Amino acid sequence: MEKGKISSLQMAFMMYPTIVATAMLGVPSITAKYAKTDLWLSPIFAALIGYLTVYIAYKLHKIFPKQTVFQFTEKIIGLIPGKIIGFLLLFFYIQNTGIIVRDYAEFVVSSFLVNTPISVIMASMVLLCAFIVRGGIEVLGRAAELFVPVFIFPICIVILLLIPDFDFMNIFPVLGNGLMPPIKGAIVPGGWFSEFFLIIFLLPFLADMKKGLKSGMMTVFAVMMTLIVVNLLVLFVLGGTTPSKNYPLMNTSRYISIADFFEHVESAVMAVWIVGAFLKISVFYYVSALGTAQWLNLSDYRPVVWPMGILIVIFSFWSLPSSIDVNRNDIMAFPLQGILMQTIIPLILLVIAVLRKRKRKGTETS
């Protein structure tokens, strides 16, 4: 079905923007509502979900080395229950791909292309991603390798240019209300960290399999550090007003002004968002197309790509009627859905698989 191979570094480059791209724009304000001045601590607690998810995915892969979750679920819990779990997971990924496309389009329309129909922005992005998904995992890996430096560089430039506007006193008091506020603030980014379960679809295609777990764990650490830096950046510039901003990173970039000449650097944030969203949508799109083909027992996933693109655009329209509902979904629904579908259910599958493996060994020994 998929003959391509990627390196562990390419897998890391695919996963990094997949988590960070959408998390760093909207999540700081959501985290600040709960954690206040301790919002920079929340990614540390949220990363624990990421580490656990990567470990679960790797262990499942070790038991079923050449299969993805849609294939080995049927072996673990049986054909019918496996198909049901597979369908729920597939629906989750297709729906969330649509919501990511909608999130991207809402940001572009509200911040820049105010008079452009949102349908044009969504359809053009899905069309672009469809070409790269049809190219296969190798093309996706190479694109990630090419675009991740483009994704990281503008963030570094924005941080350097904002240093004169930093008010370091905004970080105090540290843990003024104890550990609970940053832990509560970690629930929403925890949903993003649960997306590391996507590596279960990439591990079977790794050329250097032994580096899979290390690469996954290092990516979780890189994402955690990026979110800590972004949260501190927002806190030092915006302070107590952070919870009231929809896109705090965009608001901070508007503070940059050097000699009344070098201004409007929010275009750099826009570039980061577009590159990151492109890679994130492509990875989710690829997983949805591959998963559909495996769930239907097809020999190739490529015939599914174009119909899947149409379905994703439809979901991006129908799932949530307005930008308010998109924000509410990001806060209320997605974190719990993400942790349930990508961490808790895989953990249950891993426990059942390990118990069955031990029972089988015990039977063979006796």
Distances (CA, A) of 322 to 35, 50, 328, 347: 27, 30, 10, 34
For range 40-46, the mean pLDDT: 92
Enumerate the β-bridge partners of residue 262.
Answer: 258
pLDDT of residue 275: 86
pLDDT mean over 23-42: 87
CA-nearest of 286, 278, 263, 10 to 151 is 278
Range ranked top by mean pLDDT from 164-173, 228-237, 248-257: 228-237
Instruction: Report residue 42's pLDDT band, with 50, 70 and 90 as the boundaries.
Output: very high
Q: Please, which pLDDT band fits residue 324 given cuts at 50, 70 and 90?
A: confident
Burial of 9 (0-12, 13-18, 19+ CB in 10 A): middle
Contact 60, 350 (CB under 8 A): yes
Distance (Å) of CA 165 to CA 96, 239, 253, 254: 36, 11, 10, 11
Break the chain into its structural domains and give their ranges. Answer: 8-365
Geometric angle at alpha carbon 227, from 226 and 231, rounded to 5°: 120
pLDDT at position 164, please? 84
Q: What is the pLDDT of residues 286-311, one digit of tens each?
A: 999 999 998 998 888 999 999 999 99
Mean pLDDT for the chain? 87
Averaged pLDDT, 309-327: 83
- pLDDT digits over 190-222, tens only? 999 999 999 999 998 988 878 889 999 999 999
Q: What angle do CA 238, 195, 305 make, to 5 degrees?
A: 115
**Amino acid, res. 239:** G
**Which of 174, 133, 185 lies closest to 304 in space, CA to CA?**
133
* Close Cβ partners of 213 (under 8 Å, ≥ 6 residues apart): 54, 55, 58
Q: Quote the pLDDT of residue 127.
A: 94
- Residue 154: per-residue pLDDT: 80
- Interval 126-179: pLDDT, tens: 999 999 999 989 999 999 999 888 888 888 888 888 888 888 888 888 888 888
* Mean local confidence (pLDDT), 336-352: 93
Higher pLDDT, 211 or 269: 211
Determine the pLDDT at residue 200.
92
- Kindly report the number of other CB atoms within 10 A of residue 255's CB atom: 16
- Which is more confidently placed, 255 or 366? 255
Domain 8-365 annotated CATH 1.10.150.120:
no
Q: Token pair of 339, please?
A: 């942790």
What pLDDT is recorded for position 113?
A: 75
pLDDT at residue 166 in the model: 87
Give the pLDDT band (50/70/90) at residue 1: low
Q: Is the pLDDT of residue 366 over 60?
A: no
- pLDDT bin (cut points 50, 70, 90) of residue 264 is low
Residue-wise pLDDT for 94-132, tens only, equals 999 999 999 888 888 877 777 888 888 999 999 999 999
CA distance to 226, 236, 298, per residue, from 283 (Å):
20, 33, 20
Tokens 């672009």 locate to 128
% of the chain residues with pLDDT over 70: 96
